[in-house]
Amino acid sequence: MTNNNNDEFVFLPLGGFGEIGMNAALYGFGPKARRKWILVDLGVAFAGPELPGIELILPDVAFAQSIRKDLLGLIITHAHEDHIGAIAHLWPRLGCPVYATRFAGSLLEARRLSEPGAPDVPLNIVEAGDRIELGPFSVEYVPVSHSIPESCSLAIRTPLGTVVHTGDWKIDPGPVVSWKTDEARFRAIGDEGVLALICDSTNIMREGVSPSESEVAVKLRELITSATGRVLVTTFASNVARLRTVAEAAHEAGRSVVLVGRSMERVVAVARECGHLNGLPAFLGPDAFARLPRDRIVILATGSQGEGRAAMARIALDEHPGVKLAPGDRVIFSSRPIPGNEKSINAILNGLARQGIEVITDRDGLVHASGHPRRDEVQQMYQWTRPKLAIPAHGEGMHIAEHANFALKQGVQTVVKATNGDLVLLAPGHPAIIDEAPHGRLYTDGTIVVAGDEEAIRERTKLAFAGVISIGIAITSKGELAGDPDVVLAGIPAKTSNGKSMDAIVDRAVFETLDTMPKPRRRNADAVSDSVEKAVRSAVRNVWGKRPIVHVMVMVV
């Protein structure tokens, strides 16, 4: 690779910096006006109740669209939704080749086949250790342990230096499925010289090292083999190592495994195709539940994060059509709550408790291990790679700040605390934030992707807060009412604190407004609509303390 004096090596995160989830980051190389780019990951975050009607949050890729002709490829580090979940929605805006390991590629393809209208993305399958040559970039896939198979860090080489982009990783001597983190390869890359380390910050606040999957396996085996009734294990569908551990323990205890949840069924199918579940008996579907004795079944179910449409939420309410639990059964939450999900998870725990079912969580024993590194593991990564520059990734503000201080203590010369939209100059010269690019959020609203500032989203939030009043009025050409107004209240209390009917208050505001308007003005539909809207909103606010959305439709007949 050759270099000229005008070349710059830059980094531009579009998601995942200052937040956990929605990972997407651009690397650019070349003169400012003629840069070539690669995109690493394209993931989602999951919307909460503050965004009614919205399921997924996507990174705004407007800048990536603007450099589409110079975008050489989308490189996937691993198959978690916060790294690949936006591809089906946003790839058509980018149109570049996609590179992924077999497991990630197979999951993307399985989704395409199961979702009508999903784009046919051009997938290029790579193996751990492969190098991809894309213009000025040479990208090496370096194997790492994580909570999903075939995860990789990236060594991104350019004429101006090498960046190690860790993605999600940990150091696990017994990962159960897939590969271990390749210490020797990271040390060799460090010996070559590393310009920058862009590293996972998720567990930077936690001391020590993350427990191994093999340690979790010991505890799960103990809990499954000692159970006398049914056992249900709920975990992340993508954690194939955990699924394998449960299946092996079930086999040892003479139990059959029943899968409940479409996402888990899809992951299991791909994992078997890729060889990660070799040697295990076939799993059964929910229809097998009724015919298996209580002491001969282990259920693997989705919904460990309290998702309302997943299996666990219905089982906890005793409303699942195929799975019914009873006192004496054991439910193991082999997961840890994602921040923000605690309330919905507690609802499930309470529902199970009311049914007299034994519940075991990570508070009761080692039934879950994070897929992210704690401080001692991050320290080892710095020792292996010895970067000149550190850019903390995959974390909220407090994680980024803590990681920045930690990196300086490891002897790193420079730390840049980048957030989404910051254009960071990596080389030549002193690394720094030099510009800001368009960035933000997109939302999936049903089958439509909408902008983060979409008026419909703001209105829906208002509706959730204060309801809506719809009023239909027909007026003759002489300004007389052609019948009684039609009034519909939705999301509005039926009575005021004094017991007065809210319908009556709205009706009074409508009639008083019409009665006090001059007839010439009543012949103007827009004037009537505006006056009635203001009067009704004011009247309701006076007795309720909230401003509802008021829609007035006036027809002149």
420-475 residue pLDDT tens: 999 999 999 999 999 999 999 999 988 889 898 888 888 888 887 888 999 999 99
Please state the rounded mean pLDDT for residues 261-268.
94
Per-residue model confidence (pLDDT) at position 464: 79
Please state the rounded mean pLDDT for residues 10-34.
96
Strands 131-134, 137-144: pairing is antiparallel
Please state the rounded mean pLDDT for residues 512-528.
90
Percentage helix, strand, coil, to 5, in the chain? 35, 25, 40
Q: What confidence category does residue 339 fall into, taking pLDDT thresholds of 50, 70 and 90?
A: confident
352-375 residue pLDDT tens: 999 999 999 999 999 999 999 999
The better pLDDT of the pair 495, 113 is held by 495
Q: In the chain, pLDDT over 70 holds for what percent of residues?
A: 99
On the question of pLDDT at 1 being above 60, the answer is no
Q: Are 144 and 77 in contact (CB under 8 A)?
A: no
Per-residue model confidence (pLDDT) at position 51: 85
Q: Are 204 and 408 in contact (CB under 8 A)?
A: no
Q: In the chain, pLDDT over 90 holds for what percent of residues?
A: 85
Per-residue model confidence (pLDDT) at position 3: 61
On the question of pLDDT at 309 being above 90, the answer is no
Superfamily in which the 213-360 domain is placed by CATH: Metallo-hydrolase/oxidoreductase (3.40.50.10710)
117-175 residue pLDDT tens: 888 999 999 999 999 999 999 999 999 999 999 999 999 999 999 999 999 999 999 99
Residue in the block written with tokens 């860790």: 166
C-alpha gyration radius of the chain: 28
On the question of pLDDT at 254 being above 70, the answer is yes
The answer to which of 50-54, 90-94, 95-99, 394-398 has the lowest mean pLDDT is 50-54
Which fold does the domain 455-556 belong to in CATH?
A: Ubiquitin-like (UB roll) (3.10.20)
Please state the rounded mean pLDDT for residues 25-53.
93
- Sequence-distant (≥ 6) Cβ neighbours of residue 258 within 8 angstroms: 283, 284, 285, 286, 288, 289, 292, 297, 298, 299, 300, 323
Out of 3.40.50.2000, 3.60.15.10, 3.10.450.50, 3.30.70.2740, select the CATH number for domain 8-208+370-446. Answer: 3.60.15.10
On the question of pLDDT at 2 being above 60, the answer is no
Domain spans in the chain, listed from the N-terminal domain onward = 8-208+370-446, 213-360, 455-556
- Sequence-distant (≥ 6) Cβ neighbours of residue 226 within 8 angstroms: none
Q: Are 404 and 389 in contact (CB under 8 A)?
A: no
Render 311-374 in DSSP notation, one character per residue: HHHHHHTT--SS----TT-EEEE-S-PPTT-HHHHHHHHHHHHHTT-EEE-TTTSS----SS--
Q: What's the angle, vertex CA 517, arms to CA 514 and CA 519, rounded to 5?
A: 100
